[in-house]
Amino acid sequence: FSGYNPKRQEFDPEYDNDAELLLAEMEFKDTDTEEEHEPNLRVLRIYLKRLDERKRRKDFILKRNLLLPNTFEKDLSPEEKELCRRYDVFMRFHSKEQHEDLLKTTISEHRILKRIQELKEARAAGCHSSAEAGRFLVQKRKREAEERDCRAKESAQAGSSSQGGLNAFIPLDSIAKD
């Protein structure tokens, strides 16, 4: 994985990679008084807090196995994967298991609502039985797939014809006449 060395268990660059710059010019001398040491000690405490935050973030990523693809999301549709991405912000508020349960419940709810919407469409189209609704939905998906294929072909043809032909945005009267 780019940016992570598993043998050393380090990220490159680390979170807050410039934290060490605070210490670059710091110097303790034997002749310094306690008052002269205090600002340096304060900087060291700030640095330690930044290191703690770096460690907390690294542990979060490693503990939740965020570097590897989620096996739960492997079989989801792109729409369902996008739904999972929207819920990632809540991951920090609960455990990995709780978050996975939340995602499973959300995906289940999404599928149920989608199925209800499909059945409403079938009902509006005049279907009265489960078998009729099934046939209607199969035909609808087939039509949608054909329309997508047709649009893809049209856009491919439009892209290839515009590469060598006249520009559709240039008025014909502006082209030099011989």
Tens of pLDDT along 70-114?
A: 778 888 999 999 999 899 889 889 888 899 999 999 999 999 999
pLDDT digits (tens, 9 = 90+) for 96-108: 889 999 999 999 9
For 4, list phi and psi in degrees, rounded to 5: -130, 130
d(CA 85, CA 70): 12
Model pLDDT, residue 177: 47
Q: Residue 59: which H helix or E strand, with range?
A: helix 34-63
118/155: higher pLDDT? 118
Tokens of 23: 């210490």
Domain spans of the chain, in order of start: 1-68, 70-148
The whole-angstrom separation of Cα 75 and Cα 29 is 62
pLDDT in tens, 40-50: 899 999 999 99
Burial classification of residue 122, based on how many CB atoms lie within 10 Å of its CB (0-12 exposed, 13-18 middle, 19 or more buried): buried
Residue 9 phi/psi, 5-degree rounding, is 50, 50
Average pLDDT over residues 16-34: 84
Closest CA to 67 of 75, 59, 55, 77: 59
Three-state SS letters, 65-117? CCCCCCCHHHHCCHHHHHHHHHHHHHHHHCCHHHHHHHHHHHHHHHHHHHHHH
Q: Averaged over 155-161, what is the pLDDT? A: 72
Res 124: pLDDT: 94
Q: Residue 178 pLDDT > 80, yes or no?
A: no
For residue 127, name the pLDDT band (cuts at 50, 70, 90): very high
Instruction: Report how far residue 34's alpha carbon sits from residue 77's, in angstroms, rounded to the nearest whole number.
Output: 63
Cα separation of 8 and 170, whole Å? 60
Task: Supply 88's token pair.
Answer: 């990632």
Neighbours of 103 (CB within 10 A): 21
More confident residue, 176 or 12: 12
pTM for the whole structure:
0.60
- 35: which 2 tokens? 């008052």
Residues found in the chain: 178
